[in-house]
Amino acid sequence: MRAHDVLRSSITADTETNGATRALGKLAEDALAIIDAFARGVQIEASAGGQGWSADFERRLEIILKGIDLELAQSGAGDPDLPVQPPHVIQGELWQLLHKTRESAELSYSREIDLIELDRRILFLLRSMGPLVPADVASAVGVDKAQVSRSVKRLLELKMVEREQIRAPLRLTRKGETLSKKLMRLAELRNRELTFDIGDAELREFLATIEILLDRAVTLYHEEYDLAHEKGGTVSLGDREERKIGEKLPLDRTRIVSPLMTLSSYFSRSGALAFKRLTGLSNFEAYVLYEIGKNPPIAWTPLVRALERDHSQAGRTINTLVDRGLVTREGKPGRRHGRFAPSKEGARLWERIDEAGRERSAYLLAPLATDQRRRFLQTFEKIRRNAVAQLERERAFAELDD
């Protein structure tokens, strides 16, 4: 624990004379919380396995510290005295958080069994809620029925679930029960890590707020779906999950990630329909154009870092936007040396995307009083920094395995 103690003393020293604190700014508190969450997670694993601290603890800690250095470089380490501005586009904040939890989950669960995320979510859902018909599964996870059908087919082939007929409720087999029980123990550990430094009352309020936002997100999705259908869009009637407003979705509410993922799924699906209607762009194309237009011109490396996607996917989408005359490129040959900015038409669409993002976030958060919104965003930020620690720990494990 020597490295952890050194970091704590460095960050909590006199802020007037401490260069580390001045350099980190607001990240000082985040850095300490991330290290705390990491150390506690390792301690829990060591206790559960009846083992002492791993000899690789400090090596993993060093990887995390490198991640903090990267976060510092990306953020610019602003003045710690400046007020923190809450995000005005909640969809992006949700995506960034869940991107981290999904990556760490893939690394963690893959050590037990190689199942994709949706398959695991269905196993967790059936274990916590009991037998469910496919339509209820689709509503609970927030994805379209076609995706759920493909996932159910895989689980049936693996003999993890069973049903009497095609529309009958799905239930876990003995094999599915055994695996889901094992995965659930790991999920509970991950949940404790994500909710570190969040009290019971704070967590209850956060989950209650998620229920309010989820109802708004589902309503928004239904409205966008109806608009797309009225305008002759390509949305399939089977994609719409029928649900009475105010009716509780059959969610796994024992873990923080499940309701957040469902909230993000519905909000993202309505966003995809809205951006297609307003700009003709796909959800990811709109996202890329928005990132390019936030502070143009932007170089390749910070752009890909902001998108948090692989270079190939980002490159294909940027090339598409350039070919359509929405993005201009300047600089030496080769995309890695280029700097990108919206064209005149791209800037016009950027304004639409920005306005739509603000309006959608305002609609989502409208039922929350000012104090409730502030507390929600504060708790969200705690979960985000815990997710950073969790991801860096899993990356450290993966690096050791390699």
Dump pLDDT digits (tens) for 28-38. 566 666 666 66
Longest CA–CA span in the chain (Å) reads 71
Comparing 201 with 77, the larger pLDDT belongs to: 201
Q: For residue 332, count other CB atoms closer than 10 A to its CB.
A: 8
Eight-state DSSP code of residue 172: E
Radius of gyration of the chain (CA): 22
φ, ψ (nearest 5 deg) of residue 299: -80, 165
Eight-state DSSP code of residue 15: T
First-residue to last-residue Cα distance in the chain = 24
Provide the b/e sequence for 148-170 (b: ≥16 CB within 10 Å): beebbeebeeeebbbeeeeeeeb
Tell me which H or E stretch contains 305: helix 300-307
The domain locations on the chain are: 2-110+385-401, 117-194, 283-354
Strands (E), 24-165: 161-162
| Confidence (pLDDT) at 132 | 96
**pLDDT band of 18, cuts 50, 70, 90:** very low
Mean local confidence (pLDDT), 56-64: 64
Is the per-residue pLDDT at 57 higher than 80? Answer: no
Average predicted confidence (pLDDT) for the chain: 82
Eight-state DSSP code of residue 159: T
Q: Is 332:297 a contact under the CB 8 Å cutoff? A: no
Q: Which of 187, 160, 157 is nearest to 172 (CA)?
A: 160
Mean local confidence (pLDDT), 142-146: 91
- Please check whether the two domains, 117-194 and 283-354, share a CATH topology: yes
Q: What percent of the chain has pLDDT over 90?
A: 58
138: which residues sit within 8 A by CB, 6+ positions away? 144, 145, 147, 148, 241
**pLDDT band of 279, cuts 50, 70, 90:** very high
For the domain made up of 117-194, the CATH class stated in words is mainly alpha
For the domain made up of 283-354, the CATH class stated in words is mainly alpha
Mean local confidence (pLDDT), 173-190: 95
| Confidence (pLDDT) at 125 | 95
Burial class (CB in 10 A: 0-12, 13-18, 19+), 339: middle
107: which residues sit within 8 A by CB, 6+ positions away? 394, 395, 397, 398
Q: Give pLDDT tens digits for 242-272.
A: 444 456 777 777 889 999 999 999 999 999 9
Q: For residue 89, count other CB atoms closer than 10 A to its CB.
A: 17
Is the per-residue pLDDT at 305 higher than 60? Answer: yes
Tell me the torsion sign for CA atoms 18, 20, 24, 26.
Answer: negative
Q: Which two tokens stand for residue 147?
A: 């995706």
Q: Is 238:185 a contact under the CB 8 Å cutoff? A: no
86: which residues sit within 8 A by CB, 6+ positions away? 373, 374, 377
pTM assigned to the model? 0.74
Asked if omega into 342 is within 30° of 0 (cis), the reply is no
Tell me which H or E stretch contains 298: strand 298-299
